[in-house]
Amino acid sequence: QAVARTRADLKELSRRMAGQVPDDTLAIFDVYQGMLDAASMGDAVENMIKEGWRAQTALKYVVEQFVAQFEALEDSYLQERATDVRDIGQRVLLHLQNRQRKRKPLPDNFILIADEVTASMLAELPRDQIAGIISLNGSSNSHAAIMARSMNIPAVLGVDDIELHFFSDRLLAVDGYTGEIYVDPPAQVLTQFHQLAEEEQELRDIVTEHSHLPAETQDGQRISLHLNLGLDVTHDYLKTLNIDGVGLYRSEIPFMMRDQLPTEDEQTEMYQEVLDQFPDQPVVMRTLDVGGDKPLPYFPLKEDNPFLGWRGIRLTLDHPEIFLIQIRAMLRASIGKSNLRILLPMITSTSEVDEASRLIKQAYFEVAEEQGCEVGVNLFQPQLGVMIEVPAAIYQLPAMASKVDFFSVGSNDLTQYLLAVDRNNRRVASLYDAYHPAVLASLDEIARRCEEIGKPVSVCGELAGDPGGALLLVAMGYRQLSMNSYNVDRVRWILRNVRSSTLNVMLAKALQARNPDQIRKMIAEKMESIGLGGFVRAGK
């Protein structure tokens, strides 16, 4: 009953939010519903109850186990899922305890402050009254941050060393760009904030109004914008986006939301949903990129250097049964369609490409025969791509060219491996920077080498959806960028407002700069001078 009541709450929250945030953001509630499903936490709790535990104890135990599993992951996005699990657990517990929650009347206009602001907290509160968010814990990867962004609420997350009560009943102004919080600001600062907020809205309206137009520079350079997908893959909202395809489907994400490996049939269904969603556009499905910062909860790995260890293609080639099942499922899902592309993560050597290709071919012929498909008629051999994210792969581009159809640059990992900075280690977080001149030089080098060998190349790391990053990448010659849904229309608008000559000047300066700060400053100044400053700071 408590679970049913929680489900009803979530439905109600989702209904209330509909129309206020994009549908793909709303999908967070589907994820919550999924966590309550039997296959996730439900079964585990039920089993403990059957063993004689009290429901509350069983729930607490299972939630803590899930939370610990997520927190042990080094991927910061997945770590944040621990918050979702805790939130769901608390909701069910509340119903189990049958406690009524008392609520203070809310002011007309307030800044939400909590130890940890959660996505459902945001959903429960009236959107029109939330002026800003301050979360003492959390990061820009949390669902609350993602929701805040799509609800256009300025948010500051991860405010260390300040007590919650310090902010109580004070006048506050929050700048989500700089992460600054003004306490009891003077009148002129407040007036300025009001004006900036108005300008932000004007900018958003402009971006949305132009979402139907092609992404091209003023001198007619057309850029393909693609979508990065992982968690919430089948929302109608995604169909309405003006994109050219899916540039990265992170297949490991659904694997991590379960408590055992999905079967071939289950995977087939999962992939079918994604391919059906974009029937006329290419969908790049990356094979499992687990290990390192993304171990599967049911496949524990203990390594001293997990990022340099058994990760991505290394792990799946050592477990060809896992790899084959996944490829077979992708191929079965693609029967009657021609939009499947396969992408291999963490490639270091050509032998890995050879081995993976051999297994893909084997799966292809097996599936064709078993399913009675006509090769090349209703079952197509998918194009194969390799991720360029291990620096060694840059020097292997010519050697790999004849073996693959395309390359995709994983700038997130390329940054961490090139700079030797663990992308999730807080102590060295300030050293991890995709604007580092060495990272930009290597991205430039990759673009040039791919041009020379005549292979299509895209970028699917976070840099592709970053306003300044997207401009530099286009200047380098990248014509395909893959990013999350929030950034698609922003990047389109930015591109429509620049000329290639401007981009070339920016790139030349960036490549000569000595450090990331110089590059950031130069980009901000340039964007400001061409009327795009609103994408790198508050206001229009």
The DSSP code for 294 is B
- How many residues of this chain interact with Mg ion, rule: CB under 5 A? 3
Q: Looking at residues 371 to 390 of the shown chain, list those that interact with Mg ion (rule: CB under 5 A).
A: 389
Question: How deeply is 235 buried, as exposed, middle or buried, from its count of CB atoms within 10 A (0-12, 13-18, 19+)?
Answer: middle
Q: Does 352 bind Mg ion (CB under 5 A)?
A: no
Using CB under 5 A, which of 413, 422, 444, 466 touches Mg ion?
Answer: 413
Which residues are at the interface with ligand PEP (CB under 6 A)?
248, 250, 289, 389, 410-413, 460-461
Run of H or E residues at 82: helix 81-97
Q: Does 252 bind Mg ion (CB under 5 A)?
A: no
Candidates 377, 380, 289; CA nearest to 340 is 380
Candidates 241, 240, 243, 238; CA nearest to 274 is 238
289/489 with CB nearer ligand PEP: 289
Q: Which of 226, 373, 436, 460 is catalytic?
A: 460
User: Least separation, in Å, of the C-beta of 286 and Mg ion?
Assistant: 9
Residue 121 CA to its chain's centroid (Å): 21
Beta-ladder partners of 248: 228
User: Least separation, in Å, of the C-beta of 251 and Mg ion?
Assistant: 13
Q: Residue 460: which of ligand PEP, Mg ion, none does it interact with, CB under 5 to 8 A by kind? A: ligand PEP
200/413 with CB nearer Mg ion: 413
Look up residue 502 and give its amino acid.
T
**Tokens linked to 158:** 């991860």
229/498 with CB nearer ligand PEP: 229
393/488 with CB nearer Mg ion: 393
Q: Residue 242: which of ligand PEP, Mg ion, none does it interact with, CB under 5 to 8 A by kind? A: none
Q: Which of 95, 143, 165, 319 is catalytic?
A: 143
CB 431 within 8 A of CB 480: no
Residue 87 CA to its chain's centroid (Å): 21
Q: Residue 207: which of ligand PEP, Mg ion, none does it interact with, CB under 5 to 8 A by kind? A: none
User: Least separation, in Å, of the C-beta of 374 and Mg ion?
Assistant: 36
Cα–Cα distances (Å) from 347 to 20, 396, 531, in that order, read: 42, 10, 40
Known catalytic membership, residue 373: no
Judged by CB under 5 A, which stretch of 19-27, 103-111, 398-406, 412-420 contacts Mg ion?
Answer: 412-420
Work out the number of other CB atoms within 10 angstroms of the CB of residue 188: 8
Q: Does 410 bind Mg ion (CB under 5 A)?
A: yes
User: Least separation, in Å, of the C-beta of 241 and Mg ion?
Assistant: 23
User: Least separation, in Å, of the C-beta of 413 and Mg ion?
Assistant: 4
Look up residue 166 and give its amino acid.
F
247/516 with CB nearer ligand PEP: 247
* Cα gap 83→31, rounded to integer Å: 13
Cα–Cα distances (Å) from 397 to 10, 149, 404, 448, in that order, read: 48, 37, 10, 11
359/387 with CB nearer ligand PEP: 387
Candidates 144, 170, 169, 173; CA nearest to 157 is 144
User: Least separation, in Å, of the C-beta of 123 and ligand PEP?
Assistant: 27
CB 283 within 8 A of CB 246: yes
Backbone angles phi, psi at 141, to 5 degrees: -95, -5
359/460 with CB nearer ligand PEP: 460
User: Least separation, in Å, of the C-beta of 326 and ligand PEP?
Assistant: 16
Tell me which residue has tokens 């109850």: 49
Q: Looking at residues 187 to 246 of the shown chain, list those that interact with Mg ion (rule: CB under 5 A).
A: none
Interface positions with Mg ion (CB under 5 A): 389, 410, 413
Catalytic residues: 143, 460
